[in-house]
Amino acid sequence: MNTLGDVPRYHAEARPDAVAFSFEGRETTFAQLDRHTNQVANALLAAGLSTGDRIAYVGKNSDHYFELLLGAAKAGVVTTPIGWRLAAPEIAYIVGDSEAKLVFVGRELIGHVDAVAAELTHRPVVIAMEAEGAGDYQTFEGWRDAASDVDPHKPIQISDIAIQLYTSGTTGRPKGAMLTHHNLLGMRREAAKNPLEWNQWGPSDVSLVAMPVAHIGGTGWGLVGLINGAKGVVAREFDPTKVLDFIEKDRISKMFMVPAALQIVVRLPRAREVDYSRLTHILYGAAPIPLDLLRECMEVFGCGFVQQYGMTETTGTVVYLPPEDHDPAGNKRMRAAGLPMPGVELKIIDEAGKSLPPNTVGEVAVRSSANMAGYWKLDEATAKTMDADGWLRTGDAGYLDEDGYLFIHDRVKDMIISGGENIYPAEVESAVYGHPHVAEVAVIGVPDDKWGEAVKAVVAPKPGVTPDADDIIAFARTRIAHFKAPKSVDFIPALPRNASGKILRRELRAPYWEGRERQVN
Ligand code: ATP
Ligand code: MG
């Protein structure tokens, strides 16, 4: 398997009748997936698309999204999935930026087509993913099934772009990370040379794809299962009660979820009644997890836990914390993001790019075969992020310990400098989170005449409690150094998050910084 198109080809030979995807009662075998992706490729070629052309997908999760992605890959066409929760101008920005020639639209978004089109300077062809609400638009199945199912066998290079995946837009406008076939498949060979116990897949494995496909945690995770020949149960969207149903009825063995999603699932009363005996591993990551939440999940789900650290630009996971380092008694390793995946190199650098010794905080840099080819049409940002030796700056602050474990503090830009001390919000959030009245917490730096910046906690309280700011501050001071504990607490009903479940600290900061420039390194 060298290119994405080889994935259905390989499994159609090896296990033609095994189920590749299950979606709302529709099952697709690997043999069918191979034929459908041939049809998609032929339909795109017939529409005049050629290598490097882009198509976009705007919709919730669907098995047909994966058919589109793999079929496009067979034609050399690049797929850009776009988050369905974005507003029309945000969707239009990505459709316009990617120059997508065809846009495939899910039923939930079909009503937005005109609003999106009004913002565009080019006129892409619209295809409705589902018959429901399709109106005059051609449907995906009609479009696909009109094409030949014979493999076009178009020559594809492993350095060709397969996916243009936009970053989550947590720190600014999303950037189009160009991921090649080699990015998506190269690390697998390294993994095969150094098998990790939690990363073994067998014929009975069933993976749950419940995170949005517009992000690496959805598309990347869906592809991992597929590449390994597992059955992928695709959830249209993240619905916490349905996650429990899938685990019970579809016998899910592995799933990836962001901490914000795990928190909702684990707090459901029924979560303590479900049979988790088939669930071998929960992989979690994409944002820092509060330790108390991790302990709660380990107790309720009782399976192996694996932390994943990575980003869109590194095609997802580059660092993992294996189950054996999850010791609820609280060993120090449980706070780590973990060890480099096979084939991944890590280093910690200062602002000038010089390597720092162990246990010294700096910016995390990554080198692996999964580092993106670059950002689409953003040469300056690409040059700032990647150097000629293949190192990619993550924008995250952290350190490596003497055993090579990576500890992630936070994004460099979110670091609070108060009275000359560096304070990382995630650590403070983890401390505050354990307070019994706190449902969610974000920590930000606000302007302070004396200290430069002061630590503020923004708390969403649990329902039915009357939270007290002083009590929360006192609680934090029992868990972390006084200078790191919040100086003030604000209460809001819920934290602003993006579709990747990440707290939008820049939105929370904005009202306090109005008219002032926040200094970041
Ligand atoms: P943008 O780059 O547009 O601001 P983003 O960085 O949130 O958005 P992603 O590529 O989806 O977009 O997320 C990658 C980031 O998520 C990492 O740089 C890191 O800050 C955070 N992250 C990922 N995994 C972990 C983890 N295990 N622990 C803490 N943070 C994590
Ligand atoms: Mg980023």
pLDDT in tens, 267-286: 999 999 999 999 999 999 99
- Annotate 18-38 with DSSP letters as a single string: SEEEEETTEEEEHHHHHHHHH
pLDDT in tens, 279-326: 999 999 999 999 999 999 999 999 999 999 999 999 999 999 999 999
Average of per-residue pLDDT across 352-380: 97
Tokens of 219: 């598309």
> How far is residue 224's CA from residue 219's CA, in Å, rounded to a whole number?
9
| Residue 134 phi, psi dihedral angles, 5° rounding | -70, -25
pLDDT class of 203 with cuts at 50, 70, 90: confident
Residue of higher predicted confidence among 257 and 171? 257
CA of 214 to the centre of ligand 1 (A): 14
pLDDT the model gives residue 466: 94
> How far is residue 271's CA from residue 293's CA, in Å, rounded to a whole number?
14
pLDDT in tens, 370-415: 999 999 999 999 999 999 999 999 999 999 999 999 999 989 999 9
pLDDT in tens, 481-514: 999 999 999 999 999 998 888 999 999 999 999 9
CA of 173 to the centre of ligand 2 (A): 10
pLDDT the model gives residue 196: 94
List Cβ neighbours of 26 (8 Å cut-off, separation of 6 or more). 63
Mutate to test the pocket of ligand 1, among 396, 411, 503 (most ligand atoms within 8 A of CB): 396
CA of 288 to the centre of ligand 1 (A): 9
CA of 437 to the centre of ligand 2 (A): 31
Residue nearest to atom 23 of ligand 1 (CA): 286
- State the average pLDDT for the chain: 95
Residue nearest to atom 5 of ligand 1 (CA): 168
Residue nearest to atom 1 of ligand 1 (CA): 169
The architecture in CATH of the region 6-184 reads 3-Layer(aba) Sandwich (3.40)
Residue nearest to atom 13 of ligand 1 (CA): 311
CA of 356 to the centre of ligand 2 (A): 22
CA of 310 to the centre of ligand 1 (A): 7
Average of per-residue pLDDT across 11-17: 98
pLDDT the model gives residue 192: 81
Residue where the block lists tokens 């109005």? 514
Q: Give yes or no for a contact between 487 and 454, defined as CB atoms under 8 angstroms apart.
A: yes
Closest ligand 1 atom number to CA of residue 166 = 3
pLDDT in tens, 16-33: 999 999 999 999 999 999
Select the CATH number that applies to the domain covering 415-513 from these four: 3.10.180.10, 3.30.300.30, 2.40.50.1020, 1.10.490.10: 3.30.300.30
> How far is residue 394's CA from residue 83's CA, in Å, rounded to a whole number?
22
Ligand 1 neighbours, Cβ below 6 Å, are 167-172, 174, 215-216, 285-288, 307-312, 337, 394-396, 408, 411, 500, 502
Residue nearest to atom 11 of ligand 1 (CA): 168
Strands in 401-499 per DSSP E: 406-411, 416-418, 421-423, 438-448, 452-461, 488-491
Residue of higher predicted confidence among 121 and 189? 121
Percent of the chain's residues with pLDDT above 70: 100
pLDDT the model gives residue 469: 98
pLDDT class of 348 with cuts at 50, 70, 90: very high
pLDDT the model gives residue 189: 81
- Annotate 76-128 with DSSP letters as a single string: TPEEEEE-TTS-HHHHHHHHHHHT-SEEEE-TTTGGGHHHHHTT-SS-PEEEE
pLDDT in tens, 50-64: 999 999 999 999 999
Pairing type for strands 176-180 and 374-375 reads antiparallel
CA of 136 to the centre of ligand 2 (A): 38
pLDDT the model gives residue 289: 93
Examine the pLDDT at 191 and tell me if it is beyond 70: yes
Examine the pLDDT at 170 and tell me if it is beyond 80: yes
Q: Give yes or no for a contact between 291 and 331, defined as CB atoms under 8 angstroms apart.
A: no
Q: Minimum-distance ligand to the CA of 424? A: 1
Examine the pLDDT at 187 and tell me if it is beyond 90: no
Closest ligand 1 atom number to CA of residue 171 = 4
Residue type, 12: A
pLDDT the model gives residue 233: 98
Residue nearest to atom 16 of ligand 1 (CA): 286
Tokens of 97: 């930026």
CA torsion 79→81→87→91, rounded to 10°? -10
Q: Long-range pairs for 297-300 at CB < 8 Å and ≥24 separation?
A: 297/262, 297/266, 298/326, 298/328, 299/328, 300/266, 300/271, 300/272
Closest ligand 1 atom number to CA of residue 426 = 29
pLDDT the model gives residue 330: 65
Closest ligand 1 atom number to CA of residue 313 = 10
Examine the pLDDT at 521 and tell me if it is beyond 70: no
pLDDT the model gives residue 443: 97
DSSP character at residue 264: H
Closest ligand 1 atom number to CA of residue 284 = 27
Spell out the domain ranges in the chain.
Answer: 6-184, 415-513
C-alpha 262: how far from its chain's center? Answer: 14
pLDDT the model gives residue 188: 81
Mutate to test the pocket of ligand 1, among 258, 312, 339 (most ligand atoms within 8 A of CB): 312
CA of 428 to the centre of ligand 1 (A): 18
Examine domains 6-184 and 415-513 and report if their fold is the same: no
pLDDT in tens, 91-150: 999 999 999 999 999 999 999 999 999 999 999 999 999 999 999 999 999 999 999 999
Percent of the chain's residues with pLDDT above 90: 91
CA of 176 to the centre of ligand 1 (A): 15
